[in-house]
Amino acid sequence: MPQTLRREVCEANLRLPALGLVTLTWGNVSALDAKKGLVVIKGSGIPYADLTPDHMSVVDLADGRCVTGPKPSSDLATHLALYRRFPVIGGVVHTHSRWATVWAQAGRDIPVLGTTHADYFRGPVPCARPLTPEETTAGYEEATGHALAELFTDESILQLPAALAAGHGPFAWGRNAAEAVEHSLVLEEIAMTAWHTLALEPQAKLSQHVLDKHFSRKHGKNAYYGQ
């Protein structure tokens, strides 16, 4: 049983309300133990004030079966779909954070308007397509994960570590749970600043060469910013 990972995932979940990213129980963090083929995720409907490592569910990556702990979050199948498609992902966060959810409900990508965005995302944060009636009826949560996964390649998944589920809310990921939470926080900030920027200047945009510079100076073998 990955007890250390349960503690890490619990701590990552507790950061969500501390950072103002969740209301009530509207959020969850998971992490993958790739060697054991297990995923740890917040238990369903448990108030954050009561959360302990024992409230983390341990599930089998292959079949989603709960190995130990409480009933997993209802978003489990979305997390599993992302882990199965992109093995490089080690942590996933889902919230209904206010500003990112505004963009998700509008069905809009978040454009790159400034260097804060470019430091973390090598392009617009994409919004997935709406689900079909058939997808919504059968396997809704898993279909959500597949719709998100359609937006990415193996190369781009960590260059664009977040996306919006249309009409639903944001998902973010990283190499581990802590990094996924950081990306969730950055996503909320750029969602907020993008909305206000476009209200002030609808034609605002960031030059491609500036985007490339800011992303490359923070990521990759020649990175030198924020190391």
What does the alpha-carbon distance between residue 227 and residue 216 come to, in Å, rounded to a whole number? 12
Report residue 189's pLDDT band, with 50, 70 and 90 as the boundaries.
Answer: very high
Q: What is the mean pLDDT of residues 43-53?
A: 93
Spatial separation of the C-alpha atoms in residues 82 and 213, rounded to whole Å: 29
What angle is formed at CA 152 by the lines to CA 72 and CA 60, rounded to 5 degrees?
25
- Minimum mean pLDDT range among 26-35, 193-202, 209-218: 209-218
Band (pLDDT 50/70/90 cuts) for residue 227 is low
Q: What percent of the chain has pLDDT over 70?
A: 97
Q: Determine the pLDDT at residue 219.
A: 85
Query: Sorting pLDDT into bands at 50, 70 and 90, what band is 95?
Result: very high
Copy the structure tokens of residue 88: 């490089």
Residue range 99-119: average pLDDT? Answer: 97
Q: What is the mean pLDDT of residues 116-135?
A: 97
**Catalytic residue IDs:** 119, 225
Token readout for 113 is 């308007």
CA 26 to chain centre: 13
Evaluate if residue 92 carries a pLDDT over 90.
yes
Do the beta carbons of residue 107 and residue 167 sit within 8 Å? yes
Measure Cα distances from 189 to 131, 158, 184, 185 in Å.
27, 19, 9, 6
pLDDT of residue 18: 96
Measured CA to CA, the distance from residue 31 to residue 180 in angstroms comes to: 9
